[in-house]
Amino acid sequence: MASSLVLYGYWRSSAAYRVRIALALKGLPWENRPVHLVKDGGQQHAADYASMNPQQLVPSLRDGDRVLTQSLAIMEYLEETRPRPPLLPADAGGRARVRVLAQAVACDIHPLGNLRVLQYLERELGVGEAQRGAWVRHWIAAGFAAMEAMLAGDAATGRYCHGDTPGLADACLVPQVYNAHRWKVALDDYPTIARIAAACGELDAFRAAAPEAQPDAA
Amino acid sequence: MASSLVLYGYWRSSAAYRVRIALALKGLPWENRPVHLVKDGGQQHAADYASMNPQQLVPSLRDGDRVLTQSLAIMEYLEETRPRPPLLPADAGGRARVRVLAQAVACDIHPLGNLRVLQYLERELGVGEAQRGAWVRHWIAAGFAAMEAMLAGDAATGRYCHGDTPGLADACLVPQVYNAHRWKVALDDYPTIARIAAACGELDAFRAAAPEAQPDAA
């Protein structure tokens, strides 16, 4: 019997959104502990939270006595401890492909549009709102152009990023598409990404994980 | 019999350096195909390379007919296809811990000090050299402070990041320490990081993977 899961997240955090999708795809119940990223100077910086997550970022996942951080590490952990249904394919090549797509989001798009990065651009470098928007859009566009090429040019792409079963790559892509909408990045140049995101949007797991469906949504 | 491995990298690329360490720790022979990130406007943008790696980033690894990208995905792939010696511990909790440390570098420090990001700061936002340096140092310091807390405060830390066997977290940490030296970030506040990096530096695998040991080093 697996122990109960507690997610420390924020409704609009892209990384927390990924983990919510993974939990929902696996049908795992979890308790929600919202951490407000702006209120109180950012609740992620409070001593209690920082002792659990020294990076002072969301999400964190508590599994019994164990605390996990980093959304990709959390999803791999869920995959290893609660393997059914799987978020990764069985073959090493397929697993690598799914991880590449996930990391194209998590390592090369999302870190550049993070709250703390935008705050640094504004406060330390005096970058104005229009230029901050252009910055975020630039990195989304660069990442999506590459991902579109990887998805459109590969027969392994199916209804979802990898075949006809939603998984770890979709759990990263969909929150990034949500961010793209927030930043008014049109998806016209990324038809495969748009199609996959729409297909995911029809699934209950993705709907339940959506930012606006969270109790802490503004 | 595993097929031969070809690494497309750049001597000073932190992500390529990670993969070189992983290959060396596993004792795998590989063929070197340098991709110069500045010469010719950046050889990673050449059509041949971009068709293999649509993100136009290094590294890429060719394994027979298969091409892999993203350093973390490549290391997980090597772990799955060439499991001995392992780069990850056997237990799910330990594996998550190692991945957290690896991703603290690969998702939250390195992407912000990347060549393309520094080029954008300079060319699009007119950020001067001193402020670009301060930017890189800020993200290294934030990341290292968190990693120092995670390493120093956990009995699972040994001679290396996780116990007394070098692995995936060390393969990410050491190239980031190399970058910290380049950017003149003192390690005084991160004694555990400094100790682990020094311990890794005594191993042949890490020496062989070092930037200055590569044939394309300037």
DSSP annotation string for A45-105? GSHHHHHH-TT--S-EEEETTEEEESHHHHHHHHHHHS-SS-SS-SSHHHHHHHHHHHHHH
Domains of chain A: 6-85 (3.40.30.10), 92-206 (1.20.1050.10)
Interchain pair B54, A149: CB under 8 A: yes
Interchain pair A120, B135: CB under 8 A: yes
Q: Please tell me the predicted confidence (pLDDT) of residue B1.
A: 45
Q: Please tell me the predicted confidence (pLDDT) of residue B195.
A: 98
Q: Please tell me the predicted confidence (pLDDT) of residue A104.
A: 98
How far, rounded to the nearest angstrom, does the alpha carbon of residue B69 sit from its chain's CA centroid?
13
Interchain pair B149, A120: CB under 8 A: no
Which regions in chain A score pLDDT beneath 50?
1
Q: How far is B100 from chain A (nearest CA, A)?
A: 6
Q: Please tell me the predicted confidence (pLDDT) of residue B2.
A: 55
Which ipTM did the prediction report? 0.97
pLDDT per residue as tens digits for the range A36-80: 998 999 999 999 999 999 999 999 999 999 999 999 999 999 999
Q: Please tell me the predicted confidence (pLDDT) of residue B3.
A: 64
CA–CA gap between residue B138 and residue B113 (Å, rounded) = 10
Q: Which residues of A touch B110 (CB under 8 A)?
A: 107
Q: How many CB atoms lie within 10 A of CB B204?
A: 9
**Residue A130: closest C-alpha in chain B:** B125
Residues 6+ apart with CB under 8 A from B215: B32, B34
Interface test with A, best of B125, B129, B151, B154 (most A CBs within 10 A): B125
